[in-house]
Chain A
Amino acid sequence: MKDKYLQDISEIKNMMNKSSQFISLSGLSGVMAGIYALIGAHIANGLIESHQGYYITLESKTFKLIVLTAFLVLFFSIATAAILTVNKAKKEGEKIWNTTSKRMLINFLIPLITGGIFGLLLLRHAYYGLIAPVTLLFYGLACVNASKYTLRDVRYLGITIIILGLIATEFSGYALEFWALGFGVCHILYGSIMYFKYDRK
């Protein structure tokens, strides 16, 4: 009889989690995004060092190449995350496009798109020093917001990145370093934790 009660409790917990959280998020995709970010930061660093002249202006080739690098990193990260997560969902028999994944995505995108637009406006008004902290801060907030509907670890990733974003605001000369630390190292770190905790089962 006691076994039946135990089974009931675990069934309740299981259903509550399954219905409110998207659990198929792939940890490996975080690791890959981190690696792309580090490669991107390395390329950007090379571009800055090889730049001729003192200032990097918006019209310069260097600036355009840096922006191109950033978008390539973003594109490859999203593509990898999508592929790995779809695969994991298939393996676990979870539908990829269900209520929980939709809710997670919407709650992730609201702060993220706000931050993206804000970043572009800062760029337009020439507040270059604030762009790295702002992207970090809004990405961190997006993670915290989405974490209510997915694996808990995303919350800690978000909080870490928010803290980095605040520190980066104070040390605006090290934008690229903080960027690499936040988007590169943090992703690899938390991605591996998630990979070993959930994926390798």
Chain B
Amino acid sequence: MKSIIQNINKAFDHRIRLGIMSVLMVNDSADFSTLKELLGVTDGNLASHAKALELENYIEIQKQFIGKKPNTSYRVTKEGKKAFVSHIDALEKLIQKK
């Protein structure tokens, strides 16, 4: 039991961070406005949670210009993918166990 709890990742223990990771797991990349719309959060909220995930090295932030508009897009790193998969595994095991 203890080992399963260890796999529960604190970095994903928040609805918005969980949401960001879920979206990025099934999409190559997602831009800021898409994420904002999907998660239904404010700019500041999204930015700070994305930053937190970036600091953990779970996602990469890419800033570029599309025409004259700045565009921020996110993608998940290999490390992030691995961490999220083991997080989901741990969640599922905990649900089954009781």
Our verdict on whether A and B bind, yes or no, reads yes
A residues with a Cβ closer than 8 A to B are 2, 5-6, 8-9, 11-16, 18-20, 95, 98-99
Contact, CB under 8 Å: A19 / B23: yes
Q: A2-B95, A19-B23 are in contact. Are A12 and B38 (CB under 8 A)?
A: no
The segment out of B24-32, B42-50, B57-65 that lies at the interface is: B24-32
The complex places the Cα of A11 from the Cα of B19 at a distance, in Å, of 7
Residue in B closest to A103 when the chains form the complex, CB atoms = B27
27 example contacts (A-B, Cβ-Cβ < 8 A) are as follows A2-B94, A2-B98, A5-B91, A5-B94, A5-B95, A8-B18, A9-B88, A11-B15, A11-B18, A11-B19, A11-B22, A12-B88, A13-B22, A15-B18, A15-B19, A16-B22, A16-B23, A16-B26, A18-B38, A19-B22, A19-B23, A19-B34, A20-B26, A95-B37, A98-B34, A99-B27, A99-B30
Chain B residues within 8 Å of chain A by Cβ, number: 20
Pick from A6, A19, A95, A98: contact of B95, CB under 8 Å: A6
The total of Cβ contacts below 8 Å across the A-B interface reads 49
Task: Collect the chain A residues with CB atoms within 8 Å of residue B18's CB.
Answer: 8, 11-12, 15
Residue in A closest to B25 when the chains form the complex, CB atoms = A16
Chain A, interface SS category = helix
The complex places the Cα of A95 from the Cα of B36 at a distance, in Å, of 12
The complex places the Cα of A13 from the Cα of B26 at a distance, in Å, of 10
Beyond known contacts A16-B25, A19-B27: 9 more, CB 8 A cutoff: A2-B98, A5-B91, A5-B95, A11-B15, A11-B18, A15-B18, A16-B23, A19-B34, A95-B37
Task: Collect the chain A residues with CB atoms within 8 Å of residue B34's CB.
Answer: 19, 98-99
Q: Is B79 an interface residue (CB 8 A)?
A: no
Task: Collect the chain A residues with CB atoms within 8 Å of residue B27's CB.
Answer: 19-20, 99
> How near does chain A come to B58, taking the closest CB pair, in angstroms?
15
Task: Collect the chain A residues with CB atoms within 8 Å of residue B92's CB.
Answer: 9
Residue in A closest to B8 when the chains form the complex, CB atoms = A5
